[in-house]
Structure 1
Amino acid sequence: MALPATPSITEIQTPLGEENMRPARNENNTFQIHSLRRRLGLLGVAISMLLCAGVAVADKQQTKAADMKQLQQMMKKQIGLMKPELQKRVKALSPKTKKMLLSIYAQHSRHSDKVTLRQVMHEVLSDYQSMAAGIMTDNAEQATDSARRLANHRIPRGGLLPYMSLEMINDDSLAALDGFNASVEGTAKRLADAAEQGDMGKAASYMDDITGGCVGCHAMFRGIPGQSDLLR
């Protein structure tokens, strides 16, 4: 009686090897699918973030452009209120000086069609005194609010230029306004931040810079208050 043929090693191992490899292949395929989904998900998030950032930048640029257009219209309106001799000097200013003036006006949200510069300065003096009182009495809220009002003081009817002598309406003289603005309005904002944080000592340290800026700016707009040209 013949014995059945004994299967070879290859015949035994091949089926078993294929059966053992199937789960591994399935697991590998599943891993690749999950990995692909994860990558697609991350890619989708990245694209969404880029789109949102692009929209935000576009909105910001549109807002900035709209604000600049509004400022230019406001300055055009101011020039329309000026007498011809002042208009001529303002229009002759360099683009750099005009841009500087627009930058100063942009820092102020209150523009009046009625009050004069002297009336604005009375308001500023009131805010200055209230700011100083807040520091002296350790009233952080009073100092903070007063400093921010001072920094955002009203722009008078016609802007700043009509209240200067005609001889001062030139690029060299007006360049000083940027420094005065930084000394007064810029320092007042820093004082407000320090007071808001409860650091009244630091807030007090800014008073000298603000005062110095005020004195320097006054020299451009007026002489000694109340002086008469009729006295010898």
Structure 2
Amino acid sequence: VGRGPAATLILVCAAVVVGYVVTMRSAFIAPHVKEQLPSAIVFIGTCTLTVLGSACMLCGHLCAQRATLSASAIAVECPFADATRSLVREAEALRVARIQPKCAEEPTVARCAGYRDTWEAVVLEAMESEFGCSTFCYSSLGLTPRTLFSKANYQVSCQMTLVRHLEGFLADVGNQMYYEGFMLVLCALGAAFFKVSSACAQTPARLLKSSSDLDYGATQPFVSYR
């Protein structure tokens, strides 16, 4: 899935908070804005909610889409997918090392000769400990389930466990983030609508004056003395 959507959302949230604080401070200080301060506050608030909601919608959509595509690729073509090919190679290399007589006696393959602490090895160890599974993509390669970093020898496939995690957690988080952003944008539109409606509903003060109080010229009105 990557860190792109999460990093983008964090940066946007930080920028929105800083921009909101600076703009609100300027609105309270500027003398020409004080006369229309309520309208300025509503405008700043709606803009803030719109930007924040749009960022949540975009990042949530990307997160859900990438999680769904990754889960589909892992479930269908785990040994050959671009995202999992390096993990499969590392899992196979560690499995070969694990079945060696000297390594089989160790509690973890990390203590065996030739072990390298690569990124793929760290991911495989994390999946085994977090998901309680064994041997990544072993069902696709016809391998016997065997844990690499413990002697638990779980019978659950790390492949399908990862698929369920992507579909049931990451994709769900992305969808929730998308709908949260949609609600923020909807709230901003609602606030703007009510502000415009209240402004249009206000009756100008000059229309409340009686016709006798209106002075249409510089001269006095004509008065007949007959």
Which protein has greater RCO, CA pairs closer than 8 Å, 6+ apart? 2
Q: Which one has the largest radius of gyration?
A: 1
Say yes or no: TM over 0.5. no
Q: Indicate the structure with greater helix content.
A: 1
TM-score by length of 1: 0.31
